[in-house]
């Protein structure tokens, strides 16, 4: 597997893009504004989008992508999401008011987009690549993802706050190599992190203390304008594990 970071910021501005990862050439994990990094040809090669949750910074480019390259494809784009997330997308995005319903365009027999349900802990296997939804704890129904090539695994936490169920899963992964975990706010905004169900550095330290596996740890979803202070606080709070900031265009092969 080859995972390219298209966007990993908690906001936009300058070169910052919101959450999206390209797995090989045909799978997106979330579809935030990072998707704008791809050319039309690259967009047309994407067959699957695995959605963590319905917030705009993670789904903003699905409507534009389908509209831009649907006619270039010979099969629908498959949006993998929980039933709860699908319902939110149907009601609030693809509702003919905010955006057309591309599960009906150009017609219901040959649409540009279709949904496929995912369930926690049930792997989806695509050409030997195993993608499994894992628990997240957020203000809307949400998941993270476990990507397993067989040789090694990568965990993406998605948006989450304190979450024992996540570590129950992660600590059972024998071939864990990479852990990408969010930290959205600095410690001075801990109350906001709690209310919005994100992490701050002190909370991240408490979560990583639950990790019993070795892994390279990368921090995602940092808020623009607070990158340096948040990473400094992470260095002070998280001892021994040395998490690094995730970067646009970073590539993981596993």
Angle made by CA atoms 56, 57, 63, in degrees to the nearest 5: 55
Distance separating alpha carbons of residues 176 and 227, to the nearest angstrom? 27
Please report, in tens digits, the pLDDT of each residue of the chain (254 residues total): 999 999 999 999 989 999 999 999 999 999 999 999 999 999 999 999 999 999 999 999 999 999 999 999 999 999 999 999 999 999 999 999 999 999 999 999 999 999 999 999 999 999 999 999 999 999 999 999 999 999 999 999 999 999 999 999 999 999 999 999 999 999 999 999 999 999 999 999 999 999 999 999 999 999 999 999 999 999 999 999 999 999 999 999 99
Distance separating alpha carbons of residues 143 and 37, to the nearest angstrom? 24
Q: How many CA atoms lie within 13 A of 98 on its CB side?
A: 13
Cα-Cα-Cα-Cα dihedral sign, residues 112, 117, 121, 125: negative
Distance separating alpha carbons of residues 96 and 108, to the nearest angstrom? 15
Domains belonging to the chain, first-starting first, are 2-253 (3.60.15.10)
Residue carrying the six token digits 């509702």 = 95
Q: Are 198 and 224 in contact (CB under 8 A)?
A: no
Residues whose CB is less than 8 angstroms from the CB of residue 145 and which lie 6 or more positions away in sequence, other chains included: 29, 50, 52, 131, 132, 133, 134, 155, 156, 158
């Amino acid at each position: 597997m080859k995972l390219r970071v298209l966007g990993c910021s908690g906001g936009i501005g300058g070169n910052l893009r919101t959450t999206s990862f390209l797995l090989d050439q045909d799978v997106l994990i979330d579809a935030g504004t990072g998707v704008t990094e791809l050319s039309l040809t690259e967009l047309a090669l994407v067959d699957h989008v695995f959605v963590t949750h319905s917030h705009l910074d993670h789904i903003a480019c699905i409507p534009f992508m389908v509209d831009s390259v649907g006619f270039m494809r010979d099969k629908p784009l498959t949006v993998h999401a929980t039933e709860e997330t699908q319902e939110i997308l149907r009601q609030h995005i693809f509702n003919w008011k905010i955006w057309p319903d591309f599960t009906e365009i150009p017609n219901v027999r040959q649409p540009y987009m279709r949904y496929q349900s995912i369930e926690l802990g049930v792997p989806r296997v695509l050409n030997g690549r195993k993608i499994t939804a894992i628990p997240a704890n957020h203000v809307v129904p949400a998941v993270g993802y476990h990507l397993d090539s067989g040789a090694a695994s990568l965990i993406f936490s998605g948006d989450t706050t304190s979450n024992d169920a996540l570590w129950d899963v992660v600590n059972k992964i024998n071939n864990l190599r990479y852990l990408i975990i969010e930290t959205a706010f600095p410690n001075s905004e801990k109350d906001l992190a709690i209310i919005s169900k994100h992490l701050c550095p002190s909370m991240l330290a408490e979560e990583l203390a639950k990790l019993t596996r070795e892994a390279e740890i990368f921090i995602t979803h940092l808020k623009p304008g607070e990158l340096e202070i948040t990473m400094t606080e992470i260095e002070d709070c998280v001892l021994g594990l040395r998490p690094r900031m995730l970067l646009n265009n970073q590539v993981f092969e596993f």
